[in-house]
Structure 1
């Protein structure tokens, strides 16, 4: 079986697949059109976010038997169409859930304890203890929207921090445990101090966090997003920050990322983006929550085992 790899993955994946008898071709600089030209020769495709695997691509891929994404989100793959064509769709959401949980916790503690701001001020010669007094996480209520791999990892990290954790997941039921209390969105709107997104990007979740969403919360809230940038409408978030409805935000992802997540688009001269950058109560990181060295190894190992289970050699 010939496998085309169009995005870089940990070398262990290629090594293991080759030992197992698969023929792996690493072509990490292909454009969509380049891939279209050669995909008819391949039975397998391994991708992250290089391009969209759409209906035209799938129709061209006459021999394709599986698509494996090294990561969790599948929004760049037309999964429904692929499955209709008998193409298996595989991903590895288990691979980076732990670092995402750690990152979410680290970001909210950085914000609540003014760590980033205080460090910047010290470098500027300012020593302000009173102005940088921390806000305690303990006794807050944290709402987790989406209780899959990353949502449950975040809940485990919060365990022992003295917080109450409520979760809402549209597709899961009866999962209350020692870490979380299964809840409803109505309860999250009523009780939460902090809200964290751990959901895929779909037509339903795109710009879910908008003005209407923020206004439903009884309290002023802190927002965490380590899922997908377009879950949050940045212009509406900015309005909520300016009004105080959102006290602070932790954004590892944002709507101005391009499809590969490797750069920003449409930010030069963008007043929304520029105003967001000016906010001292916004913590930003460049979509790195799940990018630990260990997670890359885990993605490779998980995909390898899923592939050989489906297509034993």
Structure 2
């Protein structure tokens, strides 16, 4: 089996693929055009996020049997088009679950304890203790949407901090424990002090968190998004922050992460978020640790080996 790799990957990938018996061509310098020219000669493709894979690309991939996404989420792959062609698609969602959960907790703790702002103040020779009195996470109610790899890991982390954890998953039941409660959205809207998204970007979830959604929370709360920026209406989130409904936000993702291509409205929204002391921004790196970089290869190669062996 020949596999084309079009994104830069951890050095462990090629040795791991060799153990499966596959022949790999590591062409991280390829763009879409170059990949289209040669893809007919490959049965497998490994890609992170270099370009969208849709009908046009798949029409040229006459011998493709699988696509392996080096990361979590499949929003850059037309999965339905792959299904129609009998092309298996899998991702490495398991690989970054710890990284995402730890990053989320770090953002929330930084926000609650003013770590991001007080550090900047000290560098300006301001020693403002009372202004930076913190808030404890223990005892808070955390509402989580999505109990997949990342959502379940985040739920466990919040539970370890002594939080009440309410989890809603439209497609999963029977996962509740003593510390993690299965809940409906209405229960989350009623009780949540912290709300966190852990769902993929799909046609169903795109733009799901809008003004009407945010208005359903019965008390002011903290909003977290380490999933995909397009799940939320950024302007509606900003309006909720201005109104005091959202007390603060931890955002690892934005509606448009290509900052140089922002519209005027997106730039205005971004300026508000980057300047707000109760908003923490990171550049889509929640799952981007040294450990997860290696784990992605391990997860993908296990799945590729299983596919080759017919499992």
TM-score (norm 2): 0.96
CA contact (8 A) 2:20 2:304 kept: no
Higher alpha-carbon deviation: 181-190 or 272-281: 272-281
Cα distance in 2 for residues equivalent to 1:268 and 1:17: 45
Question: Under a length normalisation based on structure 1, what TM-score does the superposition of the two structures give?
Answer: 0.95
Which of 280, 289, 293 is matched with 2:286 structurally?
Answer: 289
Partner of 1:77: 77
**Matched residue, 2:273:** 276
Check conservation: 2:139, 2:163, Cα contact below 8 A: yes
Confirm or deny that 1:246 pairs with 2:264. no
Contact 2:20–2:301, Cα closer than 8 Å, also in 1: no
Q: What is the CA deviation profile of residues 228-275 of structure 1, one whole-angstrom value per residue up to 9, with x for unaligned ones?
A: 1111211111111111010000001111114xxxx6631678211111
2 CA distance for matches of 1:184 and 1:197?
14
In structure 1, distance between residues paired with 2:289 and 2:174: 32
Deviations along 1:140-194, one digit per CA (max 9) or x if unpaired, are 1100011100011111111231210000011101110134100000111111111
Report the equivalent of 1:96. 96
Q: Distance in 2 between matches of 1:38 and 1:113?
A: 53
Aligned-partner Cα distance in 2 for 1:266–1:49: 19
Q: Provide, for residues 59-84 of structure 1, a one-character-per-residue CA deviation record: whole Å limited to 9, x for no partner.
A: 11000011000111101111111112
In the aligned structure 1, how far is the partner of 2:88 from the partner of 2:62? 14
Which whole-Å CA distance do the structure 1 matches of 2:272 and 2:5 have between them? 39
Aligned residues: 309
Matched ranges for 1:260-271 at <5 A: 265-266=261-262, 270-271=267-268
SS of residue paired to 2:130 = coil
Aligned to 2:193: 193
Q: Which residue of the partner structure matches residue 55 of structure 1?
A: 55
Aligned partners of 1:161 and 1:312: how far apart in 2?
Answer: 42
The one of 294, 298, 303 equivalent to 1:301 is 298
How far the C-alpha of 1:40 sits from its partner, in A, is 0.7
Assess if the C-alpha contact under 8 Å between 1:155 and 1:179 holds in 2: no
